[in-house]
A and B are shown apart, each in its own frame.
Chain A
Amino acid sequence: MAKPPEPIEEVMPNAAWVVEAEVKEVLSTGPTPPPPPNAKPGATSVGWKAASQTVKLTITNVLKGEKAAELIVEKPVGSYSLKPGNKGPFLIDASKTILGRYGPDSWNLDRVKGAMK
């Protein structure tokens, strides 16, 4: 649902990697979550969720974490989905799950860099 992204200060401590990256390939997609119950037509913030995905990222810049050219990561069930070509700053935890309610669209790069200082 269209809540704002979480405060980055609460998310950053859980990030094992902070990278600038592009989605190279969607390797698999999980089951489609059920639609939100009792969602009225035209309503917003009803809690729509996209399926989980396993995606391969091409890393263009590592801001935090071990250097890597590619990472295979999990996009959890949530308010967005990824497709090849999507890019931006990714915060990734130690289990290689993408953090942030909207993945690479959660916070812009300046905000991410600011939170790392």
Chain B
Amino acid sequence: MPIRFNDTKLGSLYTNFEAQKRTNPNLKLGQDQVLQLVALVGDGNRGWSSTKVANELKKPGMTRDQQIALVKGGMTANEKKDLAAILDQGSVPLEPSARQFLEAVLDRSAPQPPPPPPPGTDGLKISGDQKNGLSGTTKAGATIEAINISTAPGGRLRMDDTAIIGKADANGQFNMAKLTGDQAMREGDLIRMRARYADGSTSDWLTVKATGLANKDTNNATVALFRIGLTDAGGGKVSVSNINASRQVSEPGAQLEFTNKRTGEKARVTITESGGFPDTFKLNGKPGDSFSVAASDGTNNTSFTETVGNVTVPGGAPANTDLIPDPALHADELDSAGKPRFSKVNFTGPLFVDGAKPEDVQQGQIGNCYFPAAIAAIAKQNPDVINKMVKDNGDGTYTVTFKQKDWSSGRFKDVPVKVDGDLWARSYGGPLYGRSSNSSDPKKMELWYPLVEKAYAQWKGSYNEIGNGGHASDVFEAVVGKDGQDMYISSGNLDRVFETIKRSIDNKQPVAAGTYHDERYANTGVYGDHAYSILGYEQTGTEKYVIIRNPWGESEPSGNGANDGIFKLKLQEFGKLYQNLMYTN
């Protein structure tokens, strides 16, 4: 016989569970479902919403006794009858711990904590604290595998990328087993471990919270912001997912709080056992909304006041006030409906750190290699030109002044372009296009190069206008204000090419070179259809060398030291791989 509920919301939720049981006869209500039920009965006497009660019940650090007291404090007599009916007449079975919880709420029994899983029944038992490492028992001769799933989200490890930390002796004992390096145990860390037996089979996983290592757990949950994917789910909802489900967003049980920076609305979620988000978790928001993220492991940052960064829902207008309309995305970054697949993030880092340098310039995912190659060449030969062309207006805007030739007078005139710090960015905040050092942190990235590139796109119309190829010599003209020149390179004019490079460098004038559009480049370390900065030259006896930089800031022929994109080629080799030289008069 169906239960006649006094509380309609409670009745509706329980009816939903009954429906689920019809499709899943093995369904049992566990602690999560029971907390959903009692959240509906803990609201009445206080005037709280059930959402508020639910949030309070799941608050980090909330003990079982506190949960029970909270529910009892808000429960009416009729709601108490409803819970009793669920216990006594409900058609959906309750797991033992869930039943005990409800009985405690109804004062039928003293609150009992859920029985801990019997130690060692899964083949692995841990004893004592972890002051001297992990100690315990398992089958004789078994190896002990473990991973620190509190530190793992910050790296590339999967939850089963374990390290062997010890071996059980003939009595099945293992002692002082330790993880090392980035995984070294700290107070409060969660250590996931298992035993691997001689026949290759393994015990069940066992997760241990490390204790005895310090007086206090001061290490909050690590959050891999770059694995948090937000997508517009329609209807004012935003889906939240782990974009690399084989790795963790954070440690299981940690809570993340998302705050919509447009509306101020907050929502919390508990990280699942697999280190991701529950499938049903959604935020209220729309494309373009930016959310700050705060984390708590239940011990640290329990007020969620310290945030770990921001994530943004792709598409739409940015949530912040747009000081100046921004240049549109390149066509490659639009979806089939012509809408942006990326959002903008406001970057507020320093304009310059120690002035302009070639290594500040890193090409983004856009076909404008001629631009960063030219700008890095200028930064090498005459950084003052760049230091003076970009001005911080002090109001969140910057003025970048280009040069344009007036063909009637033959003179170059100034073209000031005003931009703000909004840059098209990936969901975790790194710029999509040109970037500089510290690019993943909007508050730290050196801004001058991305802003010069943005201003160039603004001047020319959009990133699409500058992102389909071009000439470095055109950029030299637009920045230095001198006529650009092109020289084709062949085996017959290498001496003249070298003399031109030498003269330009000696006169602090920028030089760049372009490669051929053909198939000669595989395994050379040089890339076709690409522009490079010429940073210098060397001459040793009769041997001449050209010093070159890839504007990607990496990828170069082997044998050239650190992979920073800077390398040296003999002039003859340079002549085989490069098609044209670009410089100024």
Partner-B contacts on A (CB < 8 A): 1-6, 9, 13, 35-36, 39-40, 42-48, 50, 79-83, 85-88, 102-105, 108, 114-117
Contact = CB atoms under 8 A, between A and B. Distances in A.
Contacts of A44: 369-370, 373, 469-472, 514-515, 529-531
A40 B471 contact: yes
A4 B370 contact: no
B517 interface: yes
Contacts of A103: 522
Interface stretch (B81-89, B266-274, B360-368, B376-384): B360-368
Given A4-B365, A40-B471, A45-B367, A86 B527 contact: no
Given A43-B370, A46-B469, 11 more contacts: A1-B369, A13-B244, A36-B517, A40-B470, A43-B471, A44-B471, A45-B470, A46-B517, A47-B367, A80-B522, A108-B563
Nearest to B371: A45
A3 B563 CA distance: 17
Interface residues of B, number: 45
Given A3-B365, A42-B514, A115 B552 contact: no
A107 B529 CA distance: 18
Nearest to B469: A46
A46 B161 contact: no
Interface in B136-161: 155-157, 161
B364 A13 contact: no
A40 B514 CA distance: 13
Given A44-B369, A47-B367, A79 B529 contact: yes
A66 B111 CA distance: 54
A64 to B, nearest CB: 12
Contacts of A2: 367, 369, 515, 527-531
B471 A42 contact: yes
Nearest to B156: A117
Name which of A13, A35, A46 has the most chain B CB atoms within 10 A of its CB. Answer: A46
Contacts of A3: 363, 365-367, 369
- What are the nearest 7 A-B pairs in CB distance? A2-B530, A46-B469, A48-B517, A1-B367, A45-B367, A81-B519, A44-B531
Contacts of A43: 370, 469-471, 514
Contact of B155 (A1, A42, A50, A117): A117
B469 A82 contact: no
A79 B525 contact: no
Contacts of B552: 4
B18 interface: no
A45 B528 CA distance: 9
B241 to A, nearest CB: 14
B523 A88 contact: yes
Nearest to A107: B555
A46 B523 contact: no
B469 to A, nearest CB: 4
A74 to B, nearest CB: 16
A35 B518 CA distance: 11
A40 to B, nearest CB: 7
Contact of A47 (B363, B515, B519, B529): B529
B441 interface: no
B521 interface: yes
Nearest to A35: B517
Contacts of A105: 521-523, 525, 527, 555
Contact of A104 (B364, B523, B527, B563): B523
